[in-house]
Each structure stands twice: as structure tokens, then as C-alpha cells.
Structure 1
Amino acid sequence: MPAPTRDLTGTVVVVTGAGGGIGGATVRLAVEAGARVVAGDVRADALTPLVDELGPERVVPVIGDVRDEATAQTLVAAGVDAFGRVDSVVANAAVGFYGGVLDMSADQISLMVDVNVKGTVWLARAAVRCFRAQGDGGDVVILGSVAGLLIGGGQEAVYAATKGAQINLGYALDRELRGEGIRTTVIAPAGVNTAFAAADGRFGDGDPASGPFMEPGDIAGAVLHTLQQPRRMRTELWTMWSLAEKH
């Protein structure tokens, strides 16, 4: 007898950072599962291939910067306008810079805080307003990192602080909202083979494409599994490591 799952057919999912590796993989898997998606990204050229591939009847692109609260409101409104509702949001957009606490500029630090923390808060707030208006619950999924649990590598103190904030936000939102049927999940992966992970010399001369890191589809699969859990279930925090990584 197969494990019970929640059918995503006809549900509407908002994904930020949809033009990146994990975001794009999440959009594809959600559409494959029967969902309709609002795909958000700051780069128009990153979303065009997704819409061309999956079709405008399944994917609505929204160009905007998650640092701006209005972008979150536009993303959710786009789902309601195009598909009649929003059932889930995935806060995937993120920025990270690798280096010691004095190695980054003030602008880089502000960018990490604004995208990773404020961008997540704005999306959660817009989602909660929508879920409450609809009256039948919803899902907030936050893409964090094991760095936020202080079990990542060194040379990432500010990034770790932003990811720690996301994890604590997820726990606190769960306590606040679960009585309304709104689930909050933080998925916190370690090394993933993405352009994001390869930036700034994080792996030295190593190439994450050569392994032994996880792939974007692995993380996207976790997002979809979370959304497909029966409504009676909640996953508060899911840490993910490749088999070869140590912590």
C-alpha cells in the first residue's frame, strides 16, 4: 500500500529565485505534479526559458526584487489573478558571499541580509494574508542552509547569520500559524551543485559539478515531498547532506 500523499493537481505555488538551479528544478517538478506556478526572479532572461518550456498556461513569470515588499505582494497577486488562488510559497531566492567577516563590503552584507532575511519575511507576510483570506490553510517553504545551524564550513559568518534567521523565522511561524492550518517548513541543504555554490571560491579549485555534492533536483524533490505530505503532517526542519560530506 503506497504512503498517502496530497495531490498537488490544480494547486498554485509561488517560487522565488525561479531562474536559478534549485528554483528552476522546483518549478519543473511542481508543474509535473500538476500544479500551476508563479515564477519570480530579478532577471527576466532567466524566466523566459521556463515559460517557453512549460507553457504560459502553467507558469506565470514575475520580474522583481525580493528586497522590495511590493514584489512579494505582486507574486501572490499574480497567482490569484491567473489561477484564482495561492496554496504554497517557496522562499528560494538567496545571495551568499564567501569570506571572513572583514572580507566583504558593506553593500555585500546588506544585500545578503536584505535578500535572505527581508525577502523571506515579505513573502511569508504576503502568503499569510492570502491564506487567511482563502480560509483553508497553506504552505510556506523556506530554503535555508545547514550554515544556519553552525554546521557548515568556515568563512561564512554573515551568510550563516542570515540562514540562522531563516531557520528561526520558520520555527516561530510554525508556532504562530499552525492552528490556522498554515504549515511552515525550512529545508536546509549542505553543498549543492549550483552556480550559487560555485561562486566566490567556496570550493577552492574544486568544481561542484564533479561531486560529491547534491543536485538541484534533489532539493527540489524535498520541496515537492514536503508539499505532498498529508495536511495532518508538518516538517519543521529538514537538513540534507550528500553521502560524502562530513559535519
Structure 2
Amino acid sequence: MSAPSRSLQDTVIVVTGAGGGIGGATARLALEAGAKVVVGDLREDAVRPLQAEWGTDRVAVVGGDVREEATGDALVAGAVEAFGRVDSVVANAGIGFYGGLLDVGPDEIELMIDVNLKGTIWLSRAAVRQFRAQGGGGDIVVIGSVAGLLIGGGKEAVYAASKGAQINLGTAMDRELREEGIRTTVIAPAGVNTPFAAADGRFGSGDPAHGPFMEPADIGGAVIYTLSQPRRMRTELWTMWSLAEKH
């Protein structure tokens, strides 16, 4: 007996921050599952190679800054223009600076709040409008962090605050939208082997490249599993830890 699943073949998935790391792995795994993917990134040149590899019939590119409402609208509009609909969006774009409360400058604070929280809000709003217009529900997946649950490391108060707000946004959206068949899932990983995680001494003497930290594909795989769940199921919050970490 196999577990029931929902095919992603020919579904349309929007992924932000798809130029590398978790977003890049998620986009590639979605393509391997048969989906059509809109890859968004601040730098279009970071996602063009994926389009060149898979072709314009499978991959559409939308560049832009997720801090701007217009970017969320453009990502969804780009999906409709290229593929006729949107089935799922993955709010993956994120940024963090490691340091104490007074170690982080005002520009960095505003950047974390705007990218992590506003970027999720703008994409989600655009997606919900489209889900309602086309009918049939949809999926919103938010890539959060265990820091937002107050179980991360120290010296990340502002980052934790932005991720905590993002997690609360996702769970509140799920309560608001689930009766319309719109699922919202928050996936909150701990340390992942990406340049983002390795920066600023976040792991002290540890190096995520030398594990056993998680890899981007581990988180991307969780996204694909979530989207493949039968629509009767909802995974509101999924925390993910590596063997290298304690909490």
C-alpha cells in the first residue's frame, strides 16, 4: 500500500529567491516532479540558467525586489501569462544578519523586516487574488526559521522577530483561508548548508559545508512533499533540524 499523494504534473509553482540555496533546490525539484515553475530573484541572471536548461515551456523568469508590492503582483501575473494559472507559491526569499541587538544597523534591520515579512505578504496577497479568480484553491508555502519560534541560537533578535512575524502570518493565513481550499504551510528549518547560513559566524567554529547540517534539497524536498499531500491534509508548521544542532 502506498501513501496517497497529489501529482504536481503540469501544476504551476512560483518560487522566490530561486537563484540559489533553498529556492534553487525547490525550483529544480518541482521541475523534476513535472511542474511548471516561475523563478523569481533580485537578479535575473541568477535564474536564467535554469530556464536555459529546462526551456521556456517549463520555466518563466521574473526579476524584482520582493520588498515591493509590484514584485509580488508581477510574479503571479508572469505565471498566468506564461502558463495560464497559479497553483502554488513558495515565499522563500529571505535575509538575515547575525549579531546582537546593537550590532545590527538600521539599514540591515529594515532590510530583514521588509524582505522576510513584507516579501511574504505581497506574494501571498497576489496569490490569494489569483486563487480566488481561477477557483479550486491553492497552496502558499512560507520558508521560515526555527529562530522565529525562539529556539534558534543567540545574537539574532531582530532576525528572530522578523521570522516570528512571518510564522504568525502564515498560521493566521491558514486559519483565514482554509475554508476556501487555500492551504498555508510554514516550513521552519534550522541550519542549512548555504552561503546565507555560513555568513557572519552564525555557527561559530562549525562549518555547514562539513555537516551533518541539512542541505538545500532537504528543505526543497519538504516543500515538494507538502505540495504533494492530498488537499484534505494540511501541515501548518514543520520544523526541521540537523543532527549537528541541539535545541
1:200 partnered with 2:178:
no
Map 1:83-162 → 2, pairs under 5 A:
83-162=83-162
Return the alpha-carbon distance in structure 2 between the equivalents of residues 47 and 205 of structure 1: 32
Return the alpha-carbon distance in structure 1 between the equivalents of residues 50 and 98 of structure 2: 29
Amino acid at match of 1:64: G
Map 1:1-247 → 2, pairs under 5 A:
1-247=1-247
Per-residue displacement from partner, 1:137-188 (whole Å, max 9, x unpaired)?
Answer: 0000000000000000000000000110111001110110000000000000
Tell me: CA distance 1:228–1:128, structure 2 relative to 1, closer, same or farther (3 Å): same
Return the alpha-carbon distance in structure 1 between the equivalents of residues 196 and 54 of structure 2: 24
Question: What's the Cα RMSD here?
Answer: 0.8
Report SS of the residue matched to 1:74.
helix
Amino acid at match of 1:26: T
Moved more, 202-211 or 153-162: 202-211
Return the alpha-carbon distance in structure 1 between the equivalents of residues 169 and 227 of structure 2: 19
Report SS of the residue matched to 1:4.
coil
Q: Note the residue ranges of structure 2 that are not aligned, 5 or more in a row.
A: none
Report SS of the residue matched to 2:61.
strand
Report SS of the residue matched to 2:47.
helix
Runs of 4+ in 1 over 6 A off after TM superposition: none
Return the alpha-carbon distance in structure 2 between the equivalents of residues 108 and 30 of structure 1: 32
Return the alpha-carbon distance in structure 1 between the equivalents of residues 97 and 118 of structure 2: 17
Aligned residues of 2:211 and 2:244 also touching (Cα < 8 A):
no
Moved more, 82-91 or 236-245: 236-245
Task: Quote the offset at 1:108 in angstroms.
Answer: 0.2
Per-residue displacement from partner, 1:31-60 (whole Å, max 9, x unpaired)?
Answer: 111100000000122112211222221111
Moved more, 166-175 or 90-99: 166-175
Return the alpha-carbon distance in structure 2 between the equivalents of residues 187 and 20 of structure 1: 18
Task: Quote the offset at 1:94 in angstroms.
Answer: 0.2
Report SS of the residue matched to 2:90.
strand
Per-residue displacement from partner, 1:207-229 (whole Å, max 9, x unpaired)?
Answer: 21001200000000000000000
Report SS of the residue matched to 1:120.
helix
Return the alpha-carbon distance in structure 2 between the equivalents of residues 153 and 142 of structure 1: 21
Report SS of the residue matched to 1:72.
helix
Return the alpha-carbon distance in structure 1 between the equivalents of residues 184 and 47 of structure 2: 26
Report the identity percentage.
Answer: 76
Return the alpha-carbon distance in structure 2 between the equivalents of residues 102 and 53 of structure 1: 44
Moved more, 1-10 or 44-53: 44-53
Q: Note the residue ranges of structure 1 that are not aligned, 5 or more in a row.
A: none
Count how many residue pairs are aligned between Structure 1 and Structure 2: 247
Q: When the two structures are superposed, what TM-score results if normalisation uses the length of structure 1? A: 0.98
Return the alpha-carbon distance in structure 1 between the equivalents of residues 77 and 235 of structure 2: 27
Amino acid at match of 1:57: D
Task: Quote the offset at 1:200 in angstroms.
Answer: 1.3
Amino acid at match of 1:185: T
